[in-house]
Structure 1
Amino acid sequence: MKRMARGSYGYGHSYGYGGEQQPEDRLTSLSDDLLISILSHIDTKQAVQSSILSKRWVNLWTLLPVLNFTCDQDQNPPNPPDNDGYTFIHNVFARRNASIMIEKLSANVSDHYTMFRVFNDALSLRVSDLRIDCSENIVKHYPISCVDSSDLLMSLSLKGMVEFGYFPRFDGLVKLRLERVKIVENEAFSSFVNLEELFLVNCKMEVDSSGLEVVADKLWRLTISSCFHTPVAYPGLVLSTPNLVVFELEGLIPMVFEAVEELPALHTVHIDALFSYGAPELPFEQQKINLIKIIGSFKYAACVHLTPSTVEVNL
């Protein structure tokens, strides 16, 4: 019979000097690449804390291509600049291995100071996928902006009390998602010349009477869900999107709709309209006319889906 190594009496278990059975530490048999992949799926603070496990783990967190920062939403955010949340994030940025590109950065922040710093730090670090959630604790909209252009940021998601206005040219951005954001510029997306997907969810449209203008030659998908103006619908929606393939409109319809050019590439349209009753600035009959005009603009669409409530109100 083959002799087993000292201290080993079978696969998956080992025995100490006292004869007690101990589970085998299988993590030590995993490659560094696999351990880094595992650490990339957990909160970055926990990944940093793993450095105390052994000498092998000391520098693993510095090699992470994915960073996930969260904050304790049960505590009131500290006042800047003594922001413990940002201090930790800044230390991670400063001590990580600079030769490793950050593919994705997600941050849940509880104050506008951290939001602003994380956003601009991410651009400096050439992050390609950035997601910032500041929907907790912050009760006032704060502007988010940058001075320098970027050609490496490909996907941007902002959620919460953010005021979205003018941006310099972002040639690399292909996907943009804004949720619960205040849009304050009529042509807020004109700097994103290669934008392909745009999602506006629960956004407040604080634009002038000409309405929101979506000018994007390469845009193939546009989703507008539950967006509004003060007090109800937003003034207008102008599309200059010749390669649009998918259009989704849910919630209040704009008071004016215009497609600057025909949309020959359009394939799928989904409309789930919500109508405002008793609004003097937007009579119900005018809302119906606006919806009919929207539908009529999509004559090239292969599939037009109207929810039952949308169809019923036009009967």
Structure 2
Amino acid sequence: MIGGSSHWPTCKRRKKARKIKDRLSELPDHLLRRILSFVDSKFAVQTCLLSRRWRSVWKGVPALNLDSKSFNKAGHSFNRFASEILSRRYDSAPVDEMSLEISDTFDLSLGESVLMYQKLFDYAALHEIRSLRAANSEGEELWHYFNGVGFGSPAFRMLATLHLEGCKVYCPGSIDRLDPFSDFPNLRDLSLAHCSWRGDGEDGIEDRPVCLRISGIKLLNLRIEGLWYMRKIEIFAQNLESLYYGGEDTGVDIGELHLPSLDRAYVHIWDCFGAARRLMNMFRGLHSTRTLELHWNTVKEIERDHDLFDGQVSPFTRLKTLIFNARGSVRMPDSVSRYFFGNPSNKEKKSTEFKVEEKIE
């Protein structure tokens, strides 16, 4: 009796665990698939081992979350898994989201990588995906060739969210200006972080900086951070409401900006010695914003050039709120605040706010 009672708590826990599992299994397929869409696809597939009830649930999950870190430096296993999951899913199952994250655990040749990426993107385009995130967190290169291949496919017409991080975009041939997002008529949220954009040089080597144009009639939110190997950036987005422009200064010129609906802009550039003139050119393109947030590194660079404001009229005709993101007791210089609020036609009620930054670059 005593021996039996000593096992009673363990038996009770097992019964409780089975009861909880059974409750989860009783949910309809569409709810189980929705739950599995939030986890790594490798773990979603492994649920087929739970019971017969779960054997095929993963085949209809509306999201693909592929992370090379789940494969412990076995790049070929990751490649094989990506191919298998695409071939074994239900053909009619929708795919609303795809997340692809590659790190230094990924061990494939360049040729194998290109073929795998192309297969994944073709699958995403075929299923009219709405959200796509591709990231290379440890410096590996995600290759994308334009001219009707990859993202250039018109099949991405339903894409609403696109995030690219650490990706290398290469445009072969003599194209000098890229406008890669104009074919996405439903794109609303775009994020470009630490990407490089380049084309062929005179000797055929991909070392020629190009001009990147970002355009989209439905684009609402745009985040640009740390772009490399670019000559100039232009933005034509008549309905854009929010813009973040930040990262280490890479000497990229700010070209024409057409943002008549801009409501909020945040500029955070660091290591930007000598960038004041480029920043002032950017501010002219942000003239319609109502809220402008500046990081103290950016303001410090502007203030360094004492002659910058001489004879300059502020371009901001609708600015209501100026936010200074700074360290503790650092305050906005008077000359800077006077410039931003100095347009004679700006009759808005104005306010200045200060935020203590949470992370110092």
**Whose helix fraction is larger, Structure 1's or Structure 2's?**
2
- The corresponding residue for 1:206 is 230
- The corresponding residue for 2:211 is 186
**Structure 1 residue 312: deviation in Å?**
4.2
1:156 aligns to what SS in structure 2?
strand
Shift in CA distance, 260/314, structure 1 to aligned 2, threshold 3 Å: closer
Aligned with 2:319 (options 293, 301, 305): 301
2:69 aligns to what SS in structure 1?
coil
- The corresponding residue for 1:99 is 92
1:171 aligns to what SS in structure 2?
coil
**Structure 1 residue 68: deviation in Å?**
1.2
Is 2:154 the partner of 1:130? Answer: no
- The corresponding residue for 1:27 is 21
Is 2:286 the partner of 1:274? Answer: no
Is 2:164 the partner of 1:158? Answer: yes
Give the gaps of 5 or more residues in structure 1.
Answer: 1-12
**Structure 1 residue 64: deviation in Å?**
0.5
Q: Quote the Cα distance in structure 1 between the aligned partners of 2:79 and 2:311.
A: 49
Q: Quote the Cα distance in structure 2 between the aligned partners of 1:153 and 1:172.
A: 6
Q: Quote the Cα distance in structure 1 between the aligned partners of 2:130 and 2:254.
A: 32
Bigger shift: residues 97-106 or 267-276: 267-276
Contact 2:268/2:298, CA 8 A, preserved across alignment: no
Amino acid in structure 2 at the alignment position of 1:197: N
Q: Quote the Cα distance in structure 1 between the aligned partners of 2:240 and 2:39.
A: 33
Q: Quote the Cα distance in structure 2 between the aligned partners of 1:292 and 1:77.
A: 61
- The corresponding residue for 1:4 is none
Contact 1:161/1:182, CA 8 A, preserved across alignment: yes
Aligned with 2:121 (options 114, 119, 122): 119
Shift in CA distance, 141/96, structure 1 to aligned 2, threshold 3 Å: closer
Is 2:144 the partner of 1:148? Answer: no
- The corresponding residue for 1:6 is none
Contact 1:254/1:290, CA 8 A, preserved across alignment: no
**Structure 1 residue 261: deviation in Å?**
7.1
- The corresponding residue for 2:81 is 88
**Structure 1 residue 296: deviation in Å?**
2.2
- The corresponding residue for 1:225 is 246
Give deviations 1:56-90, integer Å, cap 9, x for gaps: 11110011112211112885574xxxx43233122
Contact 1:248/1:269, CA 8 A, preserved across alignment: yes
Give the gaps of 5 or more residues in structure 2.
Answer: 1-8, 171-177, 199-209, 337-361
Contact 2:262/2:286, CA 8 A, preserved across alignment: no
Number of residue-to-residue matches in the alignment: 282
**Structure 1 residue 307: deviation in Å?**
3.7
Amino acid in structure 1 at the alignment position of 2:82: I
Q: Quote the Cα distance in structure 2 between the aligned partners of 1:68 and 1:159.
A: 15
**Structure 1 residue 37: deviation in Å?**
2.6
Shift in CA distance, 301/152, structure 1 to aligned 2, threshold 3 Å: same
- The corresponding residue for 2:268 is 250
Shift in CA distance, 267/125, structure 1 to aligned 2, threshold 3 Å: same
Contact 1:42/1:68, CA 8 A, preserved across alignment: yes
RMSD between aligned alpha carbons? 3.7
Amino acid in structure 2 at the alignment position of 1:39: L
Give TM-score, length-normalised by structure 1. 0.75
Shift in CA distance, 183/243, structure 1 to aligned 2, threshold 3 Å: farther
Q: Quote the Cα distance in structure 1 between the aligned partners of 2:268 and 2:319.
A: 17
Q: Quote the Cα distance in structure 2 between the aligned partners of 1:87 and 1:163.
A: 25
Amino acid in structure 2 at the alignment position of 1:148: S
Contact 2:42/2:70, CA 8 A, preserved across alignment: no
